[in-house]
Structure 1
Amino acid sequence: MVFAMQYPAFAQTAKTSTTTPASTTAKPQLGTYGFDTAGMDPTVKPGDEFYDHANGGWARSHPIPADKSSFGMFTVLDDLSKTRTREILDAAKGDPQSKVGAAYASYLDAATVEAKGLAPITPWLNDIKALKDRKGYAALVAKAARNGVKGPFALYVGQDDKAPDAYIAQMTQSGLGMPDRDYYLTDSEKMKADRAAYVAHLTKMLELAGENNAAARATALMALETDIAKVHWTRVDSRDADKTYNKMTLTELAKAAPGFDFAAFLKANGIASTDLLIAQPTAFTGTAAILAKAPIDVLKDALLIRSLEAYADVLPDAIGAQNFAFYGTTLSGTPQREDRWKRGINFMKANLGEEVGKVYVAKYFPPETKAAADALVKNVLLAWGRRIDGLSWMSAEAKARAHKKLAAFTPKIGYPDQWRDYAGLEIKADDLFGNALRAKQFDFAYSVGKLGKPIYRWEWGMTPMEINAYANFGMVEIVFPAAILQPPFFDPNADPAVNYGGIGAVIGHELSHHFDDQGSKYDETGKLVQWWTDQDVANFKALTGKLITQYDAYEPFPGEHVKGALTLGENIGDLGGLAVALDAYHASLGGKPAPVIDGTTGDQRFFLGWAQVWRRNDREARLRQLLVIDPHSPSRYRTDIVRNFDAWYDAFKPAADGKLVLKPEDRVKIW
């Protein structure tokens, strides 16, 4: 299992000056010590709304751009990353030998795309239309999977959670066009409106493909997806590593879900192994039964629509614009599509990401930044070891194993040690759809090709240009792409407190994932196994239950709450990450007091650094969507994790009646 998020600053002994930041060689990019004080709102008391106290001025002065559903520190850096990547790609366009240049040129050549119309995708759409009966349906779904088109089930190859030295074919529930089962089943006015808009979207897509009787066919497809939604697992159940580990033979799967020919599906995709991991068995049983009864024409329309959506951005603009109108505007509230060059960057990252990344890191990720980040990661790991020793709820036996797990960690900083080889991927400068199709087929073959081979331990799940980070349980690793190692997360010229509150907490967050409610189920080898005592598990659940209750109480809109169970892993990550980063910061002072800079103490700067990275404005539609589908809490409430820290109370001295103030016994402390 992999969970995404972020990073710290090097262990630097703070100077004793009370007026200058730690660095004397250069000024930080933000403010006088790495924090943008102009973005604060001093009229808001920190004990009432710490997010607004630290970020209120910024929020008022930074409207969301028309082509974004939200805008914040992540998007600021993403814009910078895209601009830099564009420079790299523009330079490559003129090189006839550059695969990257040819791919980017094909994306920018909108005139050729429009001139070809739907001709490039027509052979595949004709394959769908040619299906006459159920006998060939599984093979057609298999071809859809190879073409990167969503079917009723999703297939990929990954580590076996209980045998992490081996790959295994894995399947998960799929088949929905809207983001989650709740969109089909929740009886709210917003969801009803989204459902009506979805049927209108399906109708329009069928019309754009030249299909007849579009409205009736869209209604039938909506009915099929609604039936599938009823048997889907919830996102809370689907994130449970124990519940979703179900090893079955092909024979067992066929018996459990007889309405779909899984043998034909797997054979067509070159998978000979009889052992599979099925994430949601009852959803497979239910979906297969629905497929067995559904009219074949409706099943064909599902593949046709998913094909148009999968390739919407490389087809004529009418298709892409309609797809964006529903998914971008209706569901996320974004008024305007990104410029074509920006969409081209996304296309390149998805299909030739590491080929571009090689140039990106050579140009924008200096060795000294990597070295500083390496040092900071080591400091955070050391601090985590000290926190393990100080736990009152964990047994000595489990602590010993926790130290073994900590010692087994592989931090990956900046970029892969071994780059992906794209030699087998054919790219043509005048064939955008063909490039996209071949790239999806290339990736599918790459995934299936792992079966029977040693684990690709060098592999990365993100490009160096991503503003993100992640934890990989099976690999026992934490991964930080180059592009996130920039202000406000990381600035070598900023005060260490701000860096530890920023990238330090992000590093701690990813480390904490390995000890959250799911990551803690994996031992030092990456194996899914209970390595705690039963009492340890009970103690841990009592603490995490308090965190669920705390987040369940947050109500961004009347009647719409944060889902504490869905966001639990990320909230544990924030809680543990901030705690270990604070410990690491204090240790970095070497026993000396932190300086007072511009009237702020070290701990105040630390917590302000944490708040600063979560500056973000969301469109209402997008925020409502995230409450349903996102395992992360909204940024405001991620900032509010500070209310569980005694050090935050000591630093800001909030009034006893402050809205965020918790009694000492109500403050959650886990790691």
Structure 2
Amino acid sequence: MKTLLMGAAATALALAATMAQADQPATPAAASASTAKPTYGSYGFDATGMDASVKPGDDFYDYANGTWAKNTPIPADKSNYGAFNTLDDLSRERTKGILEAAKSDPNSKIGAAYASYLDSATVEKQGLTPIKPWLAEIKAIKDQKGYALIAAKAARAGIDGPFRFYVGQDDKDPETYILSMGQSGLGLPDRDYYLDQDAKMAAIRTAYVAHLEQMLTLAGESDAKARAAALMAFETDIAKVHWTQVDSRDADKTYNKMTLAELQKAAPGFDFAAFYKANGLTPASLLVAQPSAITGEAALIAKAPVGVLKDALLLRTLHGFADKLPENIANADFAFYGTTLSGTPEREARWKRGVDFLKESLGEEVGKAYVAQYFPPETKAAMDVLVKNVLAAMGRRIDALPWMSDTAKARAHKKLAAFTPKIGYPDKWRDYAGLTIKGGDLFGNALRSNQFEFDYNIGKLGKPIYRWEWGMTPMEINAYANFGMVEIVFPAAILQPPFFDPKADPAVNYGGIGAVIGHELSHHFDDQGAKYDETGKLNQWWTDQDVANFKALTGKLGAQYDAYEPFPGAHVKGAFTMGENIGDLGGLAVALDAYHASLGGKPAPVIDGMTGDQRFFLGWAQVWRRNYREANLRQRLVTDPHAPSQYRTDIVRNFDAWYDAFNPTPGGKIYLAPKDRVKIW
């Protein structure tokens, strides 16, 4: 496959020209880019994947991607497959090359860590010996007080316990780090798996109890059947007090600041002071995301049999470290979490899992080598230009909003001016000098890595905000928005075809990575991101009328998504996916405006019979090509705040420009009358 970085210097110059600021004339470099062959098709879009028998107004996703969907099988080691996976495969192959080379260097920490993962013979020979000291500590728990201390130690080891906690920015004081905590304690992905009476959910619950029994047996435990049933009953009670996904994403509802004494009074069933002190923490105050859930969980822990609490920690340990333990444990864990929950028939090859382990444990150390080989400065500079264009387009759209007051528009512009785009890789790399890696000690390496990450996070307390920090490695095929930092972040590996191709027509690039940039930007103005001001503070900066107008529009958008039904009786949740849907709607609108501005007042050329706007929307559709296994898609409807890719593509139904470009007739399945089209940002 040709990649973004082939002929790096030349292609970066061409890219900078094709992404030129509005009103800049075309340059020779731009002309050369237009004649170079892109990775996909003749102009950056794979037209062979279209299904012309489908009318755009019935299903734009299938029109743009239907043949691809029919002809593209999901690999046996994947739960879904599409454009993101294609780039992830490429990223992992490249990372593998870096790690294989590092293995021969006796001084390379990443090489030693990778070699320890690949050394399956030693893992099998050691059996459960490396983990037995930890399991012995769990077995030695005698009461709830002892459980609190070991649960705290488990948190540092990266093992899920009754509560999750971490250090992050204080939403209402973004220049300060604070300890935050929230609900946890479930072995299934969400409360709905325990409480939904759907037959498929009931079948998963039955399989889960059987899985717990199997894992206890493999760990050499007795009376596994009864213990599995008891743990399931305990987790079901926890699920009943857990907040829903919708409530848990509400920035206002989840901001609950209290002292440790106030937390202890609100949730007296658990010794929080001892829990935090065990990790050297005596917080003056902390943020509690779901107070009633914490209260409920603490009460359940107080009355639970100690044996059930011990089994919960034992089984979370086996799950958390399954891939670093013998194959009988790893295979059993995958059989449930990989196959039953996600429908994936086969585990990935060991080298692929080893690459993932290195991303988790020494991600930025690997990232330095990745960037040096695959992301030169010229490409980063070219991306800077595109980001500036999209930001400028957002400013113009804010000025034109009919529903927002002038007062709020002025603050919106202040927020826009405060943005920090991060592209490719961090300006400051992590230092892993304090992490010990040993040959032939995979479990120990994983444990020490988890402890190292925990200590790094907790060590932020009392320090200035780490504004250089990244939440992803350069090898990730992803992007994100950080409300508290007022930043949008794009790792190196996503900046490749089909998202970003310097040899492609600009319309396709704007419809691809341009809309991704716009998506992350629009997150800062979605139903939660818009609650944060230009300093990153959770602070209402709109008038009451602005809020009312905004909610009226988001309500219409939510209703669109509520109507989507991938399986009979299984709908997309408009409220749960709202932030991502606003991101798609706003992101595509901003990218389209940026594309139009980049034409400098000239008409877009027609290429292969497609107009500029048609190519733009096809570029958007192409990046969402994805086939799902049924189990995976069902799980995503419950746990993923993103709508399925088909419905993300079909957001085009809200754009007048899409109707002008493709002329869908009224009555089409995704056709919306002008009054029903939602325009927010």
Distance 1:630-1:22 versus aligned 2 partners, 3 A rule: farther
Q: Structure 1, residues 493-534: CA drift from partner, whole Å, max 9, x if none?
A: 100000000000000000000000000000000000100011
Q: Structure 1, residues 466-508: CA drift from partner, whole Å, max 9, x if none?
A: 0000000000000000000000000011000000000000000
Shift of 1:11: 2.9
SS at match of 1:121: helix
Instruction: Give the conservation status (yes or no) of the 8 Å contact 1:69–1:618.
Output: yes
Shift of 1:272: 1.8
Match of 2:589 in 1: 579
Match of 1:10 in 2: 19
Shift of 1:367: 1.8
Q: Structure 1, residues 562-594: CA drift from partner, whole Å, max 9, x if none?
A: 000000000000000000000000000000000
Mapped partners of 1:385, 1:318: distance in 2: 56
Q: Counterpart of 1:392 in structure 2: which amino acid?
A: P
Match of 1:628 in 2: 638
Mapped partners of 1:273, 1:258: distance in 2: 17
1:41 aligns with 2:51: yes
Mapped partners of 1:471, 1:134: distance in 2: 40
SS at match of 2:167: strand
SS at match of 2:262: helix
Mapped partners of 1:461, 1:525: distance in 2: 19
Instruction: Give the conservation status (yes or no) of the 8 Å contact 1:12–1:496.
Output: no
Highest RCO, 1 vs 2 (Cα 8 Å, sep ≥ 6): 1
1:181 aligns with 2:194: no
Shift of 1:284: 0.6
Equivalent residue in structure 2 for 1:74, among 81, 84, 87? 84
Equivalent residue in structure 2 for 1:642, among 645, 652, 655? 652
Equivalent residue in structure 2 for 1:295, among 302, 305, 308? 305
Q: Structure 1, residues 211-241: CA drift from partner, whole Å, max 9, x if none?
A: 0000100000000000000000000000000
Mapped partners of 1:230, 1:138: distance in 2: 22
Instruction: Give the conservation status (yes or no) of the 8 Å contact 1:118–1:316.
Output: yes
Distance 1:21-1:324 versus aligned 2 partners, 3 A rule: farther
Equivalent residue in structure 2 for 1:518, among 528, 542, 551? 528
SS at match of 2:286: strand
1:670 aligns with 2:680: yes
Match of 2:408 in 1: 398
Mapped partners of 1:656, 1:141: distance in 2: 59
1:613 aligns with 2:623: yes
Mapped partners of 2:439, 2:110: distance in 1: 10
Q: Within 5 A, what are the aligned runs for 1:477-626?
A: 477-626=487-636
Q: Within 5 A, what are the aligned runs for 1:28-177?
A: 28-177=38-187
Equivalent residue in structure 2 for 1:356, among 366, 369, 386? 366
Q: How many residues align?
A: 663
Instruction: Give the conservation status (yes or no) of the 8 Å contact 1:134–1:296.
Output: yes
Q: CA RMSD in A?
A: 1.5
Mapped partners of 2:232, 2:408: distance in 1: 50
Equivalent residue in structure 1 for 2:292, among 266, 269, 282? 282
Instruction: Give the conservation status (yes or no) of the 8 Å contact 1:157–1:450.
Output: yes
Shift of 1:546: 0.2
Shift of 1:301: 0.3
1:411 aligns with 2:407: no
Mapped partners of 2:658, 2:371: distance in 1: 37
Shift of 1:136: 1.4
TM-score of the pair, normalised by structure 1? 0.97
Instruction: Give the conservation status (yes or no) of the 8 Å contact 2:231–2:312.
Output: yes
Which segment drifts farther, 183-192 or 263-272? 263-272
Match of 1:4 in 2: none
SS at match of 2:165: strand
Mapped partners of 2:649, 2:142: distance in 1: 56
Mapped partners of 1:11, 1:667: distance in 2: 31
Match of 2:7 in 1: none
Shift of 1:135: 2.4
Mapped partners of 1:22, 1:318: distance in 2: 56
Instruction: Give the conservation status (yes or no) of the 8 Å contact 2:21–2:385.
Output: no
Instruction: Give the conservation status (yes or no) of the 8 Å contact 2:21–2:389.
Output: no
1:475 aligns with 2:485: yes
Match of 1:240 in 2: 250
Mapped partners of 1:134, 1:383: distance in 2: 57
SS at match of 1:359: helix
Shift of 1:658: 1.1
Mapped partners of 1:130, 1:59: distance in 2: 53
1:218 aligns with 2:234: no
Instruction: Give the conservation status (yes or no) of the 8 Å contact 1:21–1:33.
Output: no
Match of 1:250 in 2: 260
Distance 1:428-1:437 versus aligned 2 partners, 3 A rule: same
Shift of 1:657: 1.7
1:462 aligns with 2:472: yes
Instruction: Give the conservation status (yes or no) of the 8 Å contact 2:322–2:329.
Output: yes
Q: Structure 1, residues 254-291: CA drift from partner, whole Å, max 9, x if none?
A: 00000000000011111122201000000011000000
Match of 2:316 in 1: 306
Instruction: Give the conservation status (yes or no) of the 8 Å contact 1:11–1:585.
Output: no
Distance 1:465-1:567 versus aligned 2 partners, 3 A rule: same
Instruction: Give the conservation status (yes or no) of the 8 Å contact 1:158–1:170.
Output: yes
Q: Within 5 A, what are the aligned runs for 1:325-340?
A: 325-340=335-350
Instruction: Give the conservation status (yes or no) of the 8 Å contact 2:34–2:504.
Output: no
Q: Counterpart of 1:228 in structure 2: which amino acid?
A: I
Q: Counterpart of 2:20 in structure 1: which amino acid?
A: A
Mapped partners of 2:512, 2:205: distance in 1: 40
Q: Counterpart of 2:381 in structure 1: which amino acid?
A: A
SS at match of 1:23: helix
Mapped partners of 1:667, 1:135: distance in 2: 57
Match of 1:3 in 2: none
**Percent of pairs with identical residues:** 76
TM-score of the pair, normalised by structure 2? 0.96
Shift of 1:372: 1.2
Shift of 1:60: 1.0
Instruction: Give the conservation status (yes or no) of the 8 Å contact 2:231–2:308.
Output: yes
Q: Structure 1, residues 160-185: CA drift from partner, whole Å, max 9, x if none?
A: 00000000011010000000000000
Mapped partners of 2:637, 2:261: distance in 1: 39
1:208 aligns with 2:186: no
Mapped partners of 1:664, 1:88: distance in 2: 53
Shift of 1:245: 0.2
Instruction: Give the conservation status (yes or no) of the 8 Å contact 1:21–1:597.
Output: no
Which segment drifts farther, 367-376 or 606-615? 367-376
Match of 2:4 in 1: none
Match of 1:442 in 2: 452
Distance 1:166-1:458 versus aligned 2 partners, 3 A rule: same
SS at match of 2:205: helix
Q: Counterpart of 1:632 in structure 2: which amino acid?
A: H
Instruction: Give the conservation status (yes or no) of the 8 Å contact 2:531–2:540.
Output: yes
Mapped partners of 1:640, 1:22: distance in 2: 33
1:198 aligns with 2:202: no
Q: List gaps (5 residues or longer) in structure 2.
A: 1-14
Which segment drifts farther, 161-170 or 652-661? 652-661
Q: Counterpart of 1:10 in structure 2: which amino acid?
A: M
Mapped partners of 2:338, 2:122: distance in 1: 25
Instruction: Give the conservation status (yes or no) of the 8 Å contact 1:22–1:494.
Output: no
